[in-house]
Protein backbone atom coordinates (compact mmCIF):
# COMPACT_ATOMS: atom_id res chain seq x y z
CA UNK A 1 0.00 0.00 0.00
CA UNK A 2 1.29 3.46 -0.90
CA UNK A 3 0.81 6.83 0.76
CA UNK A 4 -1.54 8.96 -1.29
CA UNK A 5 -0.11 12.12 -2.77
CA UNK A 6 -2.31 15.20 -2.77
CA UNK A 7 -2.27 17.34 -5.90
CA UNK A 8 -2.43 20.94 -4.70
CA UNK A 9 -2.53 23.46 -7.56
CA UNK A 10 -4.36 26.72 -8.15
CA UNK A 11 -7.36 24.89 -9.55
CA UNK A 12 -7.21 21.46 -7.92
CA UNK A 13 -6.97 19.97 -4.46
CA UNK A 14 -7.35 16.27 -5.12
CA UNK A 15 -6.01 12.77 -4.71
CA UNK A 16 -5.84 10.26 -7.54
CA UNK A 17 -8.74 7.81 -7.77
CA UNK A 18 -6.34 5.52 -9.62
CA UNK A 19 -3.95 5.53 -6.64
CA UNK A 20 -6.79 4.80 -4.21
CA UNK A 21 -7.91 1.89 -6.36
CA UNK A 22 -4.33 0.57 -6.42
CA UNK A 23 -4.37 0.67 -2.60
CA UNK A 24 -7.57 -1.39 -2.58
CA UNK A 25 -6.19 -3.97 -5.01
CA UNK A 26 -2.90 -4.30 -3.13
CA UNK A 27 -4.78 -6.55 -0.68
CA UNK A 28 -5.69 -9.11 -3.37
CA UNK A 29 -4.21 -11.28 -6.13
CA UNK A 30 -4.32 -9.00 -9.16
CA UNK A 31 -2.53 -11.50 -11.41
CA UNK A 32 -5.50 -13.87 -11.24
CA UNK A 33 -7.89 -10.93 -11.05
CA UNK A 34 -6.56 -9.70 -14.38
CA UNK A 35 -7.97 -12.85 -15.99
CA UNK A 36 -11.49 -11.64 -15.26
CA UNK A 37 -10.59 -8.20 -16.60
CA UNK A 38 -9.23 -9.67 -19.84
CA UNK A 39 -12.23 -11.99 -20.21
CA UNK A 40 -14.70 -9.11 -19.86
CA UNK A 41 -12.59 -7.01 -22.23
CA UNK A 42 -12.91 -9.71 -24.89
CA UNK A 43 -16.65 -9.98 -24.33
CA UNK A 44 -17.21 -6.23 -24.61
CA UNK A 45 -14.71 -5.45 -27.38
CA UNK A 46 -15.36 -4.78 -31.04
CA UNK A 47 -14.76 -8.40 -32.01
CA UNK A 48 -17.61 -10.18 -33.76
CA UNK A 49 -18.08 -12.92 -31.21
CA UNK A 50 -16.65 -15.12 -28.49
CA UNK A 51 -17.02 -18.72 -27.39
CA UNK A 52 -17.54 -19.33 -23.70
CA UNK A 53 -16.89 -22.85 -22.47
CA UNK A 54 -16.28 -24.54 -19.12
CA UNK A 55 -12.60 -24.56 -18.22
CA UNK A 56 -10.88 -27.61 -19.73
CA UNK A 57 -13.27 -27.99 -22.68
CA UNK A 58 -11.45 -27.78 -26.02
CA UNK A 59 -12.82 -25.06 -28.29
CA UNK A 60 -12.80 -25.95 -31.98
CA UNK A 61 -13.31 -24.23 -35.31
CA UNK A 62 -16.53 -26.15 -35.83
CA UNK A 63 -18.06 -24.60 -32.72
CA UNK A 64 -17.65 -21.13 -34.20
CA UNK A 65 -19.36 -22.13 -37.45
CA UNK A 66 -22.53 -23.84 -36.20
CA UNK A 67 -25.70 -22.73 -37.93
CA UNK A 68 -27.73 -23.17 -34.77
CA UNK A 69 -26.33 -22.56 -31.27
CA UNK A 70 -28.42 -25.52 -30.10
CA UNK A 71 -25.92 -27.69 -31.97
CA UNK A 72 -23.10 -26.62 -29.66
CA UNK A 73 -21.86 -29.09 -27.02
CA UNK A 74 -23.48 -28.88 -23.61
CA UNK A 75 -22.45 -25.80 -21.60
CA UNK A 76 -20.62 -24.26 -24.59
CA UNK A 77 -22.01 -20.93 -25.76
CA UNK A 78 -21.47 -18.46 -28.58
CA UNK A 79 -21.86 -14.86 -27.41
CA UNK A 80 -22.70 -12.23 -29.98
CA UNK A 81 -24.13 -9.52 -27.69
CA UNK A 82 -20.79 -7.87 -26.95
CA UNK A 83 -22.04 -5.29 -24.47
CA UNK A 84 -21.18 -5.04 -20.80
CA UNK A 85 -24.74 -5.70 -19.66
CA UNK A 86 -25.31 -8.45 -22.23
CA UNK A 87 -22.09 -10.25 -21.32
CA UNK A 88 -22.83 -10.22 -17.60
CA UNK A 89 -26.42 -11.36 -18.06
CA UNK A 90 -25.35 -14.19 -20.38
CA UNK A 91 -22.58 -15.42 -18.08
CA UNK A 92 -25.03 -15.36 -15.18
CA UNK A 93 -27.73 -17.20 -17.13
CA UNK A 94 -25.28 -19.89 -18.24
CA UNK A 95 -24.19 -20.55 -14.65
CA UNK A 96 -20.66 -19.18 -14.86
CA UNK A 97 -21.27 -15.96 -12.98
CA UNK A 98 -23.04 -15.57 -9.67
CA UNK A 99 -23.48 -12.18 -8.06
CA UNK A 100 -22.06 -8.94 -9.43
CA UNK A 101 -22.91 -6.46 -6.70
CA UNK A 102 -21.82 -2.89 -6.21
CA UNK A 103 -20.28 -2.26 -2.79
CA UNK A 104 -19.95 1.50 -3.04
CA UNK A 105 -19.44 4.49 -5.30
CA UNK A 106 -17.39 7.44 -4.05
CA UNK A 107 -18.29 10.65 -5.88
CA UNK A 108 -15.63 13.22 -6.67
CA UNK A 109 -17.93 16.14 -5.82
CA UNK A 110 -18.30 15.12 -2.17
CA UNK A 111 -14.73 13.93 -1.65
CA UNK A 112 -11.23 14.93 -2.69
CA UNK A 113 -10.97 12.26 -5.37
CA UNK A 114 -10.18 13.58 -8.82
CA UNK A 115 -12.79 11.22 -10.33
CA UNK A 116 -15.63 8.95 -9.23
CA UNK A 117 -14.51 5.58 -7.88
CA UNK A 118 -16.53 2.38 -7.62
CA UNK A 119 -15.93 -1.10 -6.20
CA UNK A 120 -17.98 -4.25 -6.95
CA UNK A 121 -17.92 -7.77 -5.55
CA UNK A 122 -18.07 -10.51 -8.18
CA UNK A 123 -18.60 -14.26 -7.77
CA UNK A 124 -17.53 -16.78 -10.42
CA UNK A 125 -19.44 -20.00 -9.71
CA UNK A 126 -17.96 -22.13 -12.51
CA UNK A 127 -14.54 -21.72 -14.10
CA UNK A 128 -14.83 -20.72 -17.75
CA UNK A 129 -12.69 -19.94 -20.78
CA UNK A 130 -13.39 -17.10 -23.21
CA UNK A 131 -12.04 -17.46 -26.76
CA UNK A 132 -12.45 -14.52 -29.18
CA UNK A 133 -13.73 -15.22 -32.70
CA UNK A 134 -13.54 -13.20 -35.90
CA UNK A 135 -15.70 -14.16 -38.88
CA UNK A 136 -14.57 -14.08 -42.50
CA UNK A 137 -16.97 -12.83 -45.16
CA UNK A 138 -17.17 -12.87 -48.94
CA UNK A 139 -19.70 -10.18 -49.65
CA UNK A 140 -22.47 -10.88 -47.17
CA UNK A 141 -21.73 -14.58 -46.93
CA UNK A 142 -19.83 -15.92 -43.94
CA UNK A 143 -17.11 -18.18 -45.31
CA UNK A 144 -15.15 -19.02 -42.20
CA UNK A 145 -14.14 -18.16 -38.67
CA UNK A 146 -10.80 -17.44 -37.06
CA UNK A 147 -10.36 -18.56 -33.48
CA UNK A 148 -7.85 -16.49 -31.50
CA UNK A 149 -6.85 -19.30 -29.18
CA UNK A 150 -3.70 -17.46 -28.15
CA UNK A 151 -5.86 -14.71 -26.67
CA UNK A 152 -8.15 -17.13 -24.80
CA UNK A 153 -8.35 -16.60 -21.06
CA UNK A 154 -9.57 -18.90 -18.28
CA UNK A 155 -11.25 -17.45 -15.19
CA UNK A 156 -11.10 -19.57 -11.99
CA UNK A 157 -13.93 -20.10 -9.52
CA UNK A 158 -14.01 -17.73 -6.57
CA UNK A 159 -14.57 -14.17 -5.45
CA UNK A 160 -13.24 -11.08 -7.18
CA UNK A 161 -13.04 -7.43 -6.19
CA UNK A 162 -13.74 -5.34 -9.30
CA UNK A 163 -13.06 -1.63 -9.44
CA UNK A 164 -12.87 1.29 -11.80
CA UNK A 165 -12.94 5.06 -11.91
CA UNK A 166 -14.22 7.87 -14.11
CA UNK A 167 -16.72 10.65 -13.54
CA UNK A 168 -18.40 10.52 -16.95
CA UNK A 169 -17.23 7.19 -18.38
CA UNK A 170 -15.86 4.26 -16.44
CA UNK A 171 -12.30 3.24 -17.22
CA UNK A 172 -9.25 1.81 -15.51
CA UNK A 173 -11.09 -1.39 -14.65
CA UNK A 174 -9.07 -3.81 -12.57
CA UNK A 175 -9.77 -6.80 -10.36
CA UNK A 176 -8.29 -8.71 -7.46
CA UNK A 177 -8.90 -12.37 -6.65
CA UNK A 178 -9.78 -13.25 -3.06
CA UNK A 179 -9.92 -17.04 -3.50
CA UNK A 180 -12.82 -19.43 -3.06
CA UNK A 181 -13.67 -18.21 0.45
CA UNK A 182 -16.28 -15.58 -0.35
CA UNK A 183 -16.12 -14.28 3.21
CA UNK A 184 -12.90 -12.59 2.10
CA UNK A 185 -14.80 -10.27 -0.22
CA UNK A 186 -14.65 -6.75 1.22
CA UNK A 187 -17.48 -5.10 3.06
CA UNK A 188 -18.16 -1.38 2.89
CA UNK A 189 -16.66 -1.01 6.37
CA UNK A 190 -13.56 -2.90 5.27
CA UNK A 191 -13.04 -0.64 2.28
CA UNK A 192 -13.09 2.42 4.50
CA UNK A 193 -10.14 0.95 6.36
CA UNK A 194 -8.04 1.33 3.19
CA UNK A 195 -5.87 4.43 3.36
CA UNK A 196 -7.60 7.41 1.80
CA UNK A 197 -10.43 5.30 0.37
CA UNK A 198 -13.19 7.89 0.45
CA UNK A 199 -10.82 10.88 0.66
CA UNK A 200 -13.50 12.68 2.67
CA UNK A 201 -11.21 14.68 4.96
CA UNK A 202 -8.25 16.86 4.02
CA UNK A 203 -5.70 17.73 6.70
CA UNK A 204 -3.38 20.73 6.26
CA UNK A 205 -0.26 21.43 8.32
CA UNK A 206 2.47 24.07 8.33
CA UNK A 207 6.09 22.93 8.53
CA UNK A 208 7.14 26.07 10.45
CA UNK A 209 4.49 27.37 12.84
CA UNK A 210 2.95 23.88 13.16
CA UNK A 211 -0.53 25.23 12.48
CA UNK A 212 -3.13 22.58 11.73
CA UNK A 213 -6.38 22.86 9.79
CA UNK A 214 -8.90 20.52 8.18
CA UNK A 215 -11.65 20.52 5.54
CA UNK A 216 -14.24 17.87 4.70
CA UNK A 217 -16.46 16.64 1.89
CA UNK A 218 -14.47 18.20 -0.93
CA UNK A 219 -14.75 21.68 0.59
CA UNK A 220 -11.91 24.21 0.21
CA UNK A 221 -12.87 25.95 3.45
CA UNK A 222 -10.30 25.00 6.09
CA UNK A 223 -11.02 25.23 9.80
CA UNK A 224 -8.48 25.35 12.59
CA UNK A 225 -7.64 22.46 14.86
CA UNK A 226 -6.96 23.32 18.53
CA UNK A 227 -5.82 26.96 18.92
CA UNK A 228 -4.35 27.40 15.43
CA UNK A 229 -4.73 30.73 13.71
CA UNK A 230 -6.38 31.76 11.49
CA UNK A 231 -9.53 29.97 12.53
CA UNK A 232 -10.78 29.75 8.93
CA UNK A 233 -9.16 30.19 5.52
CA UNK A 234 -10.11 29.42 1.93
CA UNK A 235 -7.86 27.32 -0.27
CA UNK A 236 -8.70 29.41 -3.35
CA UNK A 237 -7.41 32.51 -1.48
CA UNK A 238 -4.09 30.83 -0.65
CA UNK A 239 -0.81 32.08 -2.07
CA UNK A 240 1.54 29.69 -3.85
CA UNK A 241 5.29 29.84 -3.25
CA UNK A 242 7.50 31.46 -5.89
CA UNK A 243 10.79 30.06 -4.59
CA UNK A 244 12.48 27.57 -6.93
CA UNK A 245 13.35 25.30 -4.02
CA UNK A 246 9.81 25.18 -2.64
CA UNK A 247 8.34 21.67 -2.43
CA UNK A 248 5.53 20.63 -4.73
CA UNK A 249 1.85 20.58 -3.74
CA UNK A 250 2.06 23.16 -0.95
CA UNK A 251 0.72 26.66 -0.32
CA UNK A 252 2.13 29.52 1.73
CA UNK A 253 1.06 29.44 5.36
CA UNK A 254 -1.95 31.73 5.97
CA UNK A 255 -0.86 32.69 9.50
CA UNK A 256 -0.15 36.40 10.12
CA UNK A 257 0.45 37.93 13.53
CA UNK A 258 -2.69 39.64 14.81
CA UNK A 259 -2.88 43.27 13.75
CA UNK A 260 -0.15 42.96 11.07
CA UNK A 261 -2.17 41.74 8.08
CA UNK A 262 -0.39 44.12 5.68
CA UNK A 263 3.13 43.49 6.95
CA UNK A 264 4.76 40.63 5.00
CA UNK A 265 7.49 40.34 7.65
CA UNK A 266 4.87 39.30 10.20
CA UNK A 267 3.68 36.40 8.12
CA UNK A 268 4.71 32.82 8.75
CA UNK A 269 7.35 31.83 6.20
CA UNK A 270 6.36 28.15 6.24
CA UNK A 271 4.61 25.96 3.71
CA UNK A 272 1.35 24.14 4.25
CA UNK A 273 1.16 20.55 2.98
CA UNK A 274 -1.87 18.29 2.72
CA UNK A 275 -2.96 14.75 3.54
CA UNK A 276 -6.25 13.11 2.58
CA UNK A 277 -8.09 10.60 4.74
Helix, strand counts (H, E) of the chain: 5, 17
Kindly report the pTM of this predicted structure.
0.86
Q: Looking at beta carbons, which pairs linking 7-11 to residues 24 or more positions away fall under 8 Å?
A: 7/114, 7/249, 8/249, 8/250, 8/251, 8/273, 8/274, 9/249, 10/240
What is the spatial distance between Cα 198 and Cα 254, in angstroms, rounded to a whole number?
27
Predicted confidence band of residue 21 (pLDDT cuts 50, 70, 90): very high
Lowest-confidence segment of 36-40, 116-120, 136-140 by average pLDDT: 136-140
pLDDT at 258: 64
Query: C-alpha distances in angstroms, 268 versus 216, 252, 260?
Result: 24, 8, 11
Q: What is the pLDDT of residues 158-200, one digit of tens each?
A: 999 999 998 766 778 899 999 999 999 999 999 988 888 889 9
Closest CA to 75 of 102, 56, 62, 99: 56
Distance between CA 190 and CA 184 in Å, rounded? 10
Amino acid sequence: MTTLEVSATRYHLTVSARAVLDNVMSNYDTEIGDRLVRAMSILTSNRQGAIIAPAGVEVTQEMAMVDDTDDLPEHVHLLEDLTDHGARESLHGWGFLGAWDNVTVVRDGVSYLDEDLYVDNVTVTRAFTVTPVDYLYTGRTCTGARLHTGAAVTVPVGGYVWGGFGTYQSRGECAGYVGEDLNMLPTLEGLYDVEGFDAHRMSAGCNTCEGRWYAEGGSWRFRAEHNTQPEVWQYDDAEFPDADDAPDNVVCCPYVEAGYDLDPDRRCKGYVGFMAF
